[in-house]
A and B are shown apart, each in its own frame.
Chain A
Amino acid sequence: ETGVTQTPRHLVMGMTNKKSLKCEQHLGHNAMYWYKQSAKKPLELMFVYNFKEQTENNSVPSRFSPECPNSSHLFLHLHTLQPEDSALYLCASSQDRTGRSTDTQYFGPGTRLTVL
């Protein structure tokens, strides 16, 4: 349960605020992911990082800005969000040595974000 951690667990912010979500994995993995989970919708992949390099941006609005300083840490910087951005934001990691791997993804507990 402590392999992938996320902070904060809950966040309420106004549309003009700037905040950051943090993810840390203690599994020695090389790939990290950000997902958005909204009610009654499938998990939406936002970003993928492999060996600190961004390998996927799933047409995410620029008000979401990811940062991956090393293979263990992943951030999601938020600014001028909209109420429809309210959701559970999940981080995941996988071994992914080659960048073309189907290694299992392990999820963090998520950050419940509410945008007022």
Chain B
Amino acid sequence: GENVEQHPSTLSVQEGDSAVIKCTYSDSASNYFPWYKQELGKRPQLIIDIRSNVGEKKDQRIAVTLNKTAKHFSLHITETQPEDSAVYFCAATIDSGTYKYIFGTGTRLKVLA
């Protein structure tokens, strides 16, 4: 079936460094790719998204890039801060009659002060 692979599963960076999380999807028809941040004990919250007609999108310290040919997309966080510590999930849409998200397995990011 369709799936989304996400790497790495855990990532530790020093405060101020950059963090990159990568996802690969299998359905070439996927056209929307959201990223969610989930802090411990809290709900997943959308932090950035990108549609298939765009190659890159940036929002302050967060950016997402999309390579449709290779079917992968990445989350980039610059100047990381301790409050960036959380689990990050990528997702890609598939159409099986109903549009739905297929999620990656998540990346636990730890920003060390």
Contact = CB atoms under 8 A, between A and B. Distances in A.
A50 B97 CA distance: 12
A96 B8 CA distance: 32
B43 A100 contact: no
Instruction: Give chain A's interface secondary structure class.
Output: loop
Interface in A21-48: 33, 40-43, 45, 48
A56 B98 contact: yes
Interface SS majority for chain B: strand
B43 A43 contact: no
Contacts of A102: 31-32, 51, 93, 99
Interface residues of A, number: 24
Contacts of A104: 34, 46, 49
28 contacts: A33-B100, A40-B105, A41-B105, A42-B102, A42-B104, A42-B105, A43-B44, A43-B91, A45-B100, A45-B101, A55-B97, A56-B96, A56-B98, A56-B100, A90-B43, A90-B44, A99-B98, A100-B95, A102-B31, A102-B32, A102-B51, A102-B93, A104-B46, A104-B49, A105-B34, A105-B46, A109-B43, A110-B43
Given A33-B100, A56-B98, A102-B93, 15 more contacts: A4-B43, A42-B4, A42-B89, A42-B102, A42-B105, A42-B106, A43-B91, A100-B95, A102-B51, A105-B34, A105-B46, A106-B46, A107-B36, A107-B43, A110-B43
